[in-house]
């Protein structure tokens, strides 16, 4: 097989012509209609001098982040490094670890491997056992039927309800939601840099206000009552997840929290800071102590 070093005495056309003769003599297929890996490997393996120097430049640019996984990076590295001549094992290890992501690179450097075989084996082992540290976090899927999964974000975009993943009804009348006598707290969480965010699953909530007039089709129970010596109108929805109160009525606020709520149409409000209060509410001849209320403009 002829060799090519891109010196002034070498002619690339002559090199390609002699390479074609070599392929034909060895019955190696080449051209657009043939597999290219073998003839390309033969051509590249016979590059010498400056013509082979591009491999070193490619090594300097080789990075794990440019590949879908560590295995693909290792495969590309091995393919290139075997073509590079006159490089010590230590230099090969340095090139390999320089292209790794930060977490794996630090661990490989600490071990001070003397050859690429050991360095690659350790990097692959570390990646498999610590994959969760550099895996991209994705929304937790929720099951629909037995074969399809949908994320919470998709529920919001498609106006689907979280319990049954179907549209067209209210939370309180969801046919697949388990019946219950007492409301229970179910906190969801929304990503935030520093703040804890409580997600209220629906604005179909118990409301304490002065003048709010519910529409007839909501079927809310209405009572006249009192809170902190003021007359209030109490609206009760049996499917409510939380109790809300108009700002300014409550007096005993216990904490501030960031809250987002789902509207009746399935869309979600932006997160905002709200006060959580504990109040005594009186109606229907009874007093209810320590009722948890969230201040929300209605």
Indicate yes or no: pTM above 0.75: no
CA 231 to CA 234: how far, in whole Å?
10
Residue 283 in 3-state DSSP?
Answer: strand
Kindly indicate the confidence band of residue 211, based on its pLDDT and cuts at 50, 70 and 90.
very low
Would you state the pLDDT for residue 97? Answer: 92
The pLDDT tens digits of the residues spanning 75-94 come to 989 888 887 767 788 988 99
List the domain boundaries for the chain: 12-133, 137-168, 182-295
> Which H or E run includes 54?
helix 54-61
Tell me which of 172 and 17 has the higher pLDDT.
Answer: 17
Least confident of 82-91, 143-152, 224-233: 143-152
Between residues 181 and 123, the one the model is more confident about: 123
First-to-final CA distance of the chain: 84
What band does 177 get if pLDDT is binned at 50, 70 and 90?
A: low
User: What is the pLDDT at residue 125?
Assistant: 92
Please list, residue by residue across 156-194, b when 16 or more beta carbons sit within 10 angstroms of its beta carbon and e when fewer do: eeeebbbeebeeeeebeeeeeeeeeeeeeeeeeeeeeee
Tokens at 15, concatenated = 């090199």
Percent of the chain with pLDDT over 70: 54
pLDDT value for 100: 94
Q: Which of 42-56, 117-131, 256-270 has the lowest mean pLDDT?
A: 42-56
Q: What is the pLDDT of residue 28?
A: 75
């Amino acid at each position: 097989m002829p060799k090519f070093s891109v010196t002034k005495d070498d002619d690339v056309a002559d090199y390609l012509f002699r390479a074609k003769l070599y392929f034909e003599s060895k019955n190696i297929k080449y051209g657009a209609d043939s597999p290219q890996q073998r003839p390309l490997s033969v051509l590249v393996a016979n590059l010498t001098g400056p013509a082979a120097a591009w491999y070193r430049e490619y090594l300097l640019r080789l990075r794990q982040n440019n590949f879908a996984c560590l295995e693909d990076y290792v495969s590309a590295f091995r393919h290139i490094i075997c073509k590079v001549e006159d490089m010590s094992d230590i230099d090969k290890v340095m090139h390999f670890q320089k292209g790794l992501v930060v977490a794996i690179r630090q661990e490989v450097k600490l071990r001070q491997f003397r050859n690429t075989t050991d360095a690659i084996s350790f990097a692959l082992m570390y990646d498999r056992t610590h994959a969760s540290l550099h895996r991209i976090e994705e929304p937790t899927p929720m099951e629909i039927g037995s074969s399809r999964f949908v994320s919470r974000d998709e529920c919001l975009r498609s106006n689907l309800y979280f319990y049954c993943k179907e549209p067209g009804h209210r939370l309180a009348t969801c046919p697949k939601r388990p019946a219950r006598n007492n409301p229970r707290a179910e906190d969801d969480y929304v990503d935030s840099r520093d703040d804890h965010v409580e997600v209220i699953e629906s604005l179909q909530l118990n409301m304490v206000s002065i003048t709010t007039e519910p529409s007839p089709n909501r079927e809310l129970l209405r009572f006249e009552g009192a809170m902190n010596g003021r007359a209030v109108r109490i609206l009760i929805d049996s499917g409510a997840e939380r109790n809300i109160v108009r700002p300014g009525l409550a007096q005993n606020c216990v904490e501030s929290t960031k809250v987002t709520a789902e509207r009746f149409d399935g869309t979600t409000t932006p997160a905002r800071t709200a006060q959580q209060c504990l109040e005594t509410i009186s109606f229907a001849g009874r007093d209810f102590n320590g009722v948890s209320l969230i201040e929300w403009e209605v």
